[in-house]
């Protein structure tokens, strides 16, 4: 009986890459949950919290904006700096901030305490709010017990909505580019390859051995070299064809630069204040002038929203800010 002719062999190896599907904007809107007790948020607040660590720009920029808004903050007996810093952070991240109001026997607000925006919900009744507890229970606050700071959203008036949502895709793309580069580097400076053989001298057992050697190569540096001997083999009986070799055309830097610019633009922050290294000798200009313009055009409007807190406080307990010129804002 003659030897069985080897059949062509092809198989795939390597983990598939996840693909971002769907659009967050398809789910924007609020509706009543828990048998009509409270309104759902327009987007999952937990997702916005996780997005803070998606890349090297988004989270630090929001922290920087919080620090800029808190610069020169003047606390009062009703509101501490720590609580105010938490309020400012929530407002930057979620465009919503909440304070629990404690009143004295005259009915005046004597103390304010920060409530975490990620767990706060507006109830069906006007001026009623509740807190989602870790146990899954919903703690209700009475009318007038909670002060809600938010920006205006044209789609609904229950919650505020961050202005940076348009850059979410760029934030995730920046993260994906970094993760791709890490996998590319750990894989030996190539995306993948095709192990091609046209040798008639390879027995089925030898083919299986090569297949197992490749498929079992897991982890960093585990598959560096492989010895292969084919008696009477020809020069091109075995070929390794790289797939997507980026050694001469690496798009990583371009992708990260474009996505970074989108993130900075969404936050309306000058590149000089986002720790960006200039690509030319001229730089970004006078940082003092940039700081003054940014302070006037971005920080002051944010402070005006935060100063709405004073509307609930008696004059003796008002908070305020001291700007760079030493003037009082309250």
In tens, the pLDDT along 280-300 reads 767 778 889 999 999 999 999
Strands 192-197, 129-132: pairing is unpaired
Where does a domain end: 228, 243, 258? Answer: 243
Tokens 């992708």 belong to: 255
pTM for the model:
0.75
Do residues 99 and 219 both lie within one domain?
no
Determine the average pLDDT of the residues in 203-212: 75
Determine the average pLDDT of the residues in 133-144: 94
Please give the share of the chain, as a percent, with pLDDT higher than 70: 72
pLDDT, residue 212, reads 75
Note whether 150 and 97 are within 8 A (CB): yes
Do residues 103 and 212 both lie within one domain?
no
Do residues 37 and 114 both lie within one domain?
yes
Residue 284 burial by CB count (10 A; 0-12/13-18/19+): exposed, middle or buried?
middle
pLDDT, residue 45, reads 95
* SS3 call for 291: helix
Tokens 């585990």 belong to: 222
Do residues 38 and 146 both lie within one domain?
yes
Domain of 120, in residue numbers:
30-163+301-329
Do residues 42 and 97 both lie within one domain?
yes
Residue 158 lies in a domain: yes
Q: Rounded to whole angstroms, how far apart are CA atoms 195 and 11?
A: 10
Residue 93 burial by CB count (10 A; 0-12/13-18/19+): exposed, middle or buried?
buried
Residue 50 lies in a domain: yes
Do residues 82 and 229 both lie within one domain?
no
Determine the average pLDDT of the residues in 195-216: 71
Q: Rounded to whole angstroms, how far apart are CA atoms 257 and 252?
A: 8
pLDDT, residue 286, reads 86
Asked whether residue 57 carries a pLDDT value surpassing 80, the answer given is: yes
Do residues 227 and 323 both lie within one domain?
no
pLDDT, residue 221, reads 52
Q: State phi, psi for 117 to the nearest 5 degrees.
A: -65, -30
Do residues 71 and 123 both lie within one domain?
yes
pLDDT, residue 136, reads 87
Q: How confident is residue 4, by pLDDT bands cut at 50, 70 and 90?
A: low
pLDDT, residue 37, reads 92
pLDDT, residue 283, reads 74
**What is the C-alpha end-to-end distance of the chain, expressed in Å?**
98
Where does a domain end: 243, 262, 278? Answer: 243
Note whether 222 and 230 are within 8 A (CB): no
Do residues 84 and 136 both lie within one domain?
yes
Determine the average pLDDT of the residues in 95-105: 96
Q: How many domains does the chain have?
A: 2
Tokens 């008639």 belong to: 200
Residue 53 lies in a domain: yes
Most confident stretch, 1-5, 249-253, 262-266, 277-281: 262-266
Residue 250 lies in a domain: no
pLDDT, residue 73, reads 96
Do residues 214 and 324 both lie within one domain?
no
Give the chain's mean pLDDT: 82
pLDDT, residue 133, reads 95
Where does a domain end: 227, 243, 259? Answer: 243
pLDDT, residue 12, reads 47
Do residues 324 and 212 both lie within one domain?
no
pLDDT, residue 25, reads 47
pLDDT, residue 318, reads 97
Closest by CA position to 149, among listed 100, 76, 81: 100
Q: Rounded to whole angstroms, how far apart are CA atoms 326 and 254?
A: 43
Note whether 132 and 122 are within 8 A (CB): no
Residue 256 lies in a domain: no
Tokens 């700071």 belong to: 149
Q: How confident is residue 326, by pLDDT bands cut at 50, 70 and 90?
A: very low
pLDDT in tens, 102-123: 999 988 999 999 999 999 999 9
Do residues 38 and 90 both lie within one domain?
yes
pLDDT in tens, 226-258: 666 667 666 777 776 666 555 444 577 788 888
Residue 265 lies in a domain: no
Note whether 115 and 15 are within 8 A (CB): no
pLDDT, residue 182, reads 76
Please give the share of the chain, as a percent, with pLDDT higher than 90: 50
pLDDT in tens, 146-203: 999 999 998 889 999 999 999 999 998 888 888 877 776 666 555 566 676 766 667 7
pLDDT, residue 264, reads 94
pLDDT in tens, 76-89: 999 999 999 999 99
Residue 235 lies in a domain: yes
Residue 233 lies in a domain: yes
Residue 132's beta-bridge partner residues?
138
Asked whether residue 26 carries a pLDDT value surpassing 60, the answer given is: no
């Amino acid at each position: 009986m003659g030897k069985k002719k080897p059949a062509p062999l092809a198989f795939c190896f390597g983990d598939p890459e996840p693909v971002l599907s769907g659009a967050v904007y398809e789910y924007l809107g609020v509706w009543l949950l828990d048998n009509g007790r409270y309104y759902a948020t327009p987007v999952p607040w937990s997702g916005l919290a996780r997005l803070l660590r998606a890349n090297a720009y988004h989270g630090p920029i929001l922290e920087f904006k919080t620090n800029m808004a808190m610069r020169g903050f003047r606390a009062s007996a009703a509101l501490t700096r720590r609580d105010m810093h938490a309020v400012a952070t929530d407002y930057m991240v979620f465009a919503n901030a909440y304070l629990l109001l404690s009143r004295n026997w005259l009915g005046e607000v004597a103390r304010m305490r920060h409530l975490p925006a990620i767990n706060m919900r507006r109830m069906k009744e006007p001026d009623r709010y509740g807190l989602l507890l870790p146990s899954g229970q919903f703690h209700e606050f009475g009318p007038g017990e909670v002060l809600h700071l938010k920006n205006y959203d044209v789609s609904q008036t229950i919650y505020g909505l961050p202005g940076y949502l348009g850059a979410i895709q760029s934030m995730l793309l920046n993260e994906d580019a970094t993760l791709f580069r890490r996998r590319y580097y750990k894989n030996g400076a190539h995306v993948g390859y095709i192990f091609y053989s046209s040798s008639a001298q390879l027995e089925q057992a030898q083919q299986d051995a090569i297949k197992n050697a490749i498929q079992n190569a897991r982890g960093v540096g585990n598959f560096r070299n492989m010895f292969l001997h084919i008696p009477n083999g020809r020069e091109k009986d075995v070929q390794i064809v790289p797939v997507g070799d980026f050694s001469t055309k690496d798009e990583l830097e371009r992708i990260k630069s474009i996505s970074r610019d989108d993130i900075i633009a969404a936050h309306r922050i000058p590149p000089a204040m986002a720790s960006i290294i200039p690509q030319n000798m001229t730089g970004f200009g006078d940082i003092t002038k940039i700081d003054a313009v940014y302070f006037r055009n971005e920080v002051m409007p944010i402070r005006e929203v935060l100063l709405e807190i004073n509307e609930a406080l008696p004059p003796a307990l008002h908070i305020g800010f001291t700007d760079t010129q030493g003037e009082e804002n309250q």
